[in-house]
């Protein structure tokens, strides 16, 4: 199946119904499809055709969905760039992917120009913005050109999405999804998480370049609405839930925790809301129990990753009602996913024993861009994807995550890998050694926390060290706390033992939730 064909089917079946709502604007299926056609033709006219990589630098807005659909129709490999990342991070991604055209929203024009000045040949296409001579205003070009579907011939194996995620050492990895795997993600969501009807509406406040965006096409193909907010502001979020009669919402645990502490929650009519999906990071059991108590049996959990989204496992609403030990589970395998837990040699482990999760599914990525060695390590014989997440399985097939992929920190739904933060701190002349871990946090679930030793005679403030990180990395990667210690624990071979720093921080949390 082609993802581009799913776009066409939804548009033809539900032409006059409302498809997307952004701020006070409503767009029908026909209008979104027309805008997608126009944008696709404008990109093609720029020379960005089938197989070209186009960077997308934009926050949630009225062009988010049409532009994604335009890339599918034009056969373009889109490369989303999280606006929260630093210039240096964006520049590395653009260079690694050999991005030819950078499409940017008007509010991010300055960042786009800075990137173009660093990379020769990078062409800019603003969404209603033109900063310099030679740059394009993609919206103006789109409405000056044809509105017909370009019907670019594409194949199921054509890459349509290159999504960057940091590796366990902070090295960039770019997971690539094809027309077929992107369509399979839609089928996966419909088969496992929800079955929207024409009167359903989903609220999007998290960035559409992440998990939230994968829900758009499933709702589109069923004739349902997608209501898009520019970001998560609790009062605005509650107002949108009520005003648009939202039936389905997707949250990361941080969003749920903030919402549960919002005074207006109990005064908001949420009677239309029947499904609340969550994932992206582990959820504290106490938070989940609060949510069930305050919002009722509406929760569905999914476990997945960029390489194989959206749900490899699912914890259903009925599972949440059953409560008990299941609230600590990440669910049972999705109907379209094969999952095994293996030891280091790749042999399946018995129920109850800890093993690495390996998954085989049609929504698995094709591989990482330009990384043959990493692909060989990650995708084993038979098409099994190594998740590098450790779990145990009970006798009923429910999985329980026991350790996270390497030492990754998930703060507010964003992945942070310690090594890249450690490198930024280690560059400071006062720092001798550094180790970064995640500490429990009531708002962000995990807070980036750094332990450092100083060079003899050196003196430095925690804020100065935080500024050193802020200069090169995204804001959410900056440590919330920097602790100066006498020494950092190491193994016999000199490897830093982050667990010895992290476990004491979490011990009281684990004991209080038992």
DSSP 202: E
Note whether 423 and 416 are within 8 A (CB).
no
DSSP 490: B
**C-alpha atoms less than 13 angstroms from C-alpha of 407 in its C-beta half-sphere:** 23
Whole-angstrom distance, CA of residue 277 vs CA of residue 290? 15
Give the confidence band of 406 by pLDDT, cuts at 50, 70, 90. Answer: low
Of 420, 379, 387, which Cα lies nearest the Cα of 404?
387
Instruction: Tell me if 17 is assigned to some domain.
Output: yes
In this predicted structure, the answer to whether residue 310 has a pLDDT above a threshold of 90 is: no
Helix (H) or strand (E) holding 503: helix 498-513
Instruction: Tell me if 493 is assigned to some domain.
Output: yes
Peptide bond into 317 cis (omega under 30): no
Q: Which two tokens stand for residue 11?
A: 């548009």
Instruction: Tell me if 385 is assigned to some domain.
Output: no
Query: Of 154, 174, 196, which residue sits at a domain end?
Result: 154
**C-alpha atoms less than 13 angstroms from C-alpha of 346 in its C-beta half-sphere:** 11
Q: Which two tokens stand for residue 377?
A: 């390590």
Question: Which CATH number fits the domain that encloses residue 454?
Answer: 3.30.300.30
Whole-angstrom distance, CA of residue 423 vs CA of residue 226? 40
Give the confidence band of 171 by pLDDT, cuts at 50, 70, 90. Answer: low
Instruction: Tell me if 417 is assigned to some domain.
Output: yes
Instruction: Tell me if 459 is assigned to some domain.
Output: yes
Provide the number of structural domains found in the chain: 2
Residue holding tokens 């999804």?
A: 177
Using only C-alpha atoms, the chain has a radius of gyration, in whole angstroms, of 23
Predicted local confidence at residue 503, as pLDDT? 87
- For residues 101 and 131, the model is more confident at 101
Burial class (CB in 10 A: 0-12, 13-18, 19+), 127: buried
223: left (phi over 0), alpha (psi -120 to 50) or beta: left
Query: Of 134, 154, 174, which residue sits at a domain end?
Result: 154
The domain of 450 spans 409-513
In this predicted structure, the answer to whether residue 168 has a pLDDT above a threshold of 50 is: no
Note whether 124 and 117 are within 8 A (CB).
no
Between the CA of residue 174 and those of 167, 401, 475, what are the distances in Å? 9, 24, 21
Q: Which two tokens stand for residue 75?
A: 């056969």
Residue 134 CB partners (closer than 8 Å, separation 6+): none
Instruction: Tell me if 224 is assigned to some domain.
Output: no
Whole-angstrom distance, CA of residue 447 vs CA of residue 481? 8
The pLDDT of 390-416, averaged and rounded, is 84
Instruction: Tell me if 174 is assigned to some domain.
Output: no
Question: Would you call 94 helix, strand, or coil by DSSP?
Answer: helix
Mean pLDDT: which of 151-155, 284-288, 456-460 is highest? Answer: 151-155
Predicted local confidence at residue 31, as pLDDT? 98
Q: φ and ψ at 41, to 5 degrees?
A: -65, -35
Burial class (CB in 10 A: 0-12, 13-18, 19+), 28: middle
Predicted local confidence at residue 415, as pLDDT? 80
Instruction: Tell me if 43 is assigned to some domain.
Output: yes
Question: Would you call 342 helix, strand, or coil by DSSP?
Answer: strand
Predicted local confidence at residue 491, as pLDDT? 59
Q: What is the pLDDT of residues 141-161, one digit of tens each?
A: 999 999 999 999 999 999 999
- The alpha carbon dihedral of 28, 11, 274, 316 has a sign of negative
Query: Of 154, 175, 202, which residue sits at a domain end?
Result: 154
Question: Which CATH number fits the domain that encloses residue 116?
Answer: 3.40.50.12780
In this predicted structure, the answer to whether residue 511 has a pLDDT above a threshold of 80 is: no
Between the CA of residue 144 and those of 19, 42, 73, 264, 436, what are the distances in Å? 24, 9, 19, 46, 52
């Amino acid at each position: 199946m082609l993802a581009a064909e799913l776009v066409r089917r939804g548009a033809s079946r539900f032409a006059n119904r409302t498809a997307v709502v952004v701020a006070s604007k409503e767009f029908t299926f026909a209008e979104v499809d027309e805008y997608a056609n126009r944008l696709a033709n404008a990109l093609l006219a720029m020379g960005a055709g089938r197989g070209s990589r186009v960077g997308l630098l934009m926050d949630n807005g009225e062009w988010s969905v049409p532009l994604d659909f335009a890339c599918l129709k034009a056969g373009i490999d889109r490369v989303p760039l999280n606006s929260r990342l630093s210039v240096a991070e964006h520049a590395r991604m653009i260079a690694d992917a050999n991005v030819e055209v950078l499409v940017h929203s008007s509010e991010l024009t300055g960042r786009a120009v800075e990137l173009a000045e660093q990379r020769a040949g990078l062409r800019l296409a603003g969404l209603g913005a033109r900063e310099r001579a030679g740059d394009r205003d993609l919206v103006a070009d789109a409405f000056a050109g044809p509105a017909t579907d370009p019907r670019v011939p594409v194949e199921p194996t054509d890459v349509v999405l290159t999504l960057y995620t940091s590796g366990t050492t902070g090295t960039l990895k770019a997971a690539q999804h094809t027309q077929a795997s992107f369509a399979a993600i839609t089928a996966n969501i419909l088969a496992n998480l929800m079955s929207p009807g024409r009167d359903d509406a989903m609220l999007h406040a998290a960035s559409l370049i992440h998990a939230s965006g994968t829900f758009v096409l499933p709702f589109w193909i069923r004739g349902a609405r997608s209501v898009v907010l520019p970001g998560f502001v609790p009062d605005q979020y509650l107002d949108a839930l009520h005003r648009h009669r939202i039936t389905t919402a997707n949250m990361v645990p941080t969003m749920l925790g903030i919402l549960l502490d919002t005074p207006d929650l109990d005064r908001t009519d949420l009677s239309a809301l029947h499904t609340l999906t969550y994932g992206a990071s582990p959820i504290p059991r106490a938070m989940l129990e609060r949510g069930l108590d305050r919002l009722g049996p509406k929760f569905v959990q999914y476990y997945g990753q960029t390489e194989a989204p959206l749900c490899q496992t699912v914890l259903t609403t009925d599972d949440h009602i059953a409560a008990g030990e299941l609230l600590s589970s990440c669910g049972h395998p999705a109907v379209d996913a094969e999952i095994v837990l293996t030891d280091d040699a790749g042999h399946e482990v018995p129920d109850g024993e800890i093993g690495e999760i390996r998954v085989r599914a049609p929504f698995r990525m094709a591989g990482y861009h330009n990384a043959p060695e990493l692909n060989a390590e990650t995708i084993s014989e038979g098409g099994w994807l190594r998740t590098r997440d450790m779990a145990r399985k009970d006798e009923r097939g429910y999985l329980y995550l026991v350790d996270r992929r390497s030492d990754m920190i998930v703060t507010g739904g964003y992945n942070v890998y310690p090594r890249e933060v450690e490198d930024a701190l280690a560059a400071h002349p006062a720092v001798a050694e550094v180790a970064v871990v995640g500490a429990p946090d009531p708002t962000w679930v995990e807070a980036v926390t750094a332990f450092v030793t100083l060079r003899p005679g050196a003196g430095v403030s925690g804020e100065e060290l935080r500024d050193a990180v802020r200069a090169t990395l995204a804001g959410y990667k900056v440590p919330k706390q920097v602790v100066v210690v006498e020494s950092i624990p190491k193994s016999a071979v000199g490897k830093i033992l982050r667990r010895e720093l992290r476990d004491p921080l979490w011990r009281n949390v684990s004991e209080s939730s038992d």
